[in-house]
Structure 1
């Protein structure tokens, strides 16, 4: 059995660190760099969509899901959440609103590495819809998104969709009236 002095143990630790930083011990380095990501369900708001009430997640929360029942006078519920990376709350920038588009033929995808934080719709399917987006940061560094995907389509009048594990909402598409199809785009928080 080999015994190392206190100085020898420090030297061995420094050599190991050097090997990690040089990429010679990739398995250990990869394991050490994985961030712990936790998404906590947060604020929920239900509105009558046709009233044109803008819904925006509270400070440092992002959209995770949405549900709607009925026609334009039905209830729409927005689900927000708080993100923690390595135990620190992710900072979400002030919202930036998109231009308006006609709901019955709408498509919106947030810019790369941005997330949805709000939405506003007025009237029926011929009314206008707009979205609020924001960027995220943790520890002074931008939070990146990966693995973008679209949900399967579902009838708007009886719809519910929520992000999967480690995901946030980044887009939405709708065609037609309340019987038309709605899909959501989600992206995974990169670790």
Structure 2
């Protein structure tokens, strides 16, 4: 039997050919692209009013001018993730507060969708909030923060980029102070 002797270079080449290289790591999935776009806007008389954002929209701002007989404007937003509309999950969660000393914050990952107010500045305010869903997955609301206080009788507040409304604080009458809580939309 004849032995074949390989040179060191040939052996190295043969060994390299036999070496299994692991596949390259998969590229990290791109972060979802979130957009909160202006949706429905409406102005109503504050006293004895109710306002509900249209289907699959959430509150992104509020403005008020005057006393309890003045006008309130609500701003709603449509949320898209990777160009696909986010769904507002119903039924909503509901809470009521005395308007002259209200402090309402939604549960984690809930956005405001409706506000009702009955009576004057000492009347009741009802808040409604819902969870959000995208492709059957829960949408997260993170980095909650409060605005500075503003005079209720003449103010306007809007969410920042890709944010929704998650709370409201108010004390006193139309000359009292109002602040809003907003949170950033994410999937995760």
- Counterpart position of 2:32: 35
- Counterpart position of 2:74: 78
Q: Within 5 Å, give how 1:147-166 maps onto structure 2.
A: 147-166=143-162
Instruction: Give the CA deviation at 1:97.
Output: 4.7
Q: Within 5 Å, give how 1:94-105 maps onto structure 2.
A: 94-105=90-101
Whole-Å separation in 2 of the counterparts to 1:113 and 1:97: 12
Tell me the TM-score normalized by structure 1.
Answer: 0.83
Mean alpha-carbon deviation: is it higher for 103-112 or for 33-42? Answer: 33-42
Q: Deviations over 1:102-121 (max 9, x none)?
A: 10000100000000001011
User: Structure 2: any 5+ residue segments left out of the alignment?
Assistant: 1-19
Instruction: Give the CA deviation at 1:95.
Output: 4.5
User: Structure 1: any 5+ residue segments left out of the alignment?
Assistant: 1-10, 21-27
Mean alpha-carbon deviation: is it higher for 80-89 or for 91-100? Answer: 91-100
RMSD (Å) for aligned C-alpha atoms: 1.6
Q: Within 5 Å, give how 1:139-178 maps onto structure 2.
A: 139-178=135-174
Q: Deviations over 1:115-140 (max 9, x none)?
A: 00010111111100010100001011
Preserved CA contact (<8 Å) 1:95 1:132:
no
Change (3 A) 1:157 1:180: same
Matching residue within 100, 107, 123 for 1:111: 107
Preserved CA contact (<8 Å) 1:97 1:130:
no
Q: Deviations over 1:128-175 (max 9, x none)?
A: 001010000101100011100000000000010000011000000000
- Counterpart position of 1:44: 41
The higher radius of gyration belongs to 2
Whole-Å separation in 1 of the counterparts to 2:139 and 2:46: 31
Preserved CA contact (<8 Å) 2:60 2:163:
yes
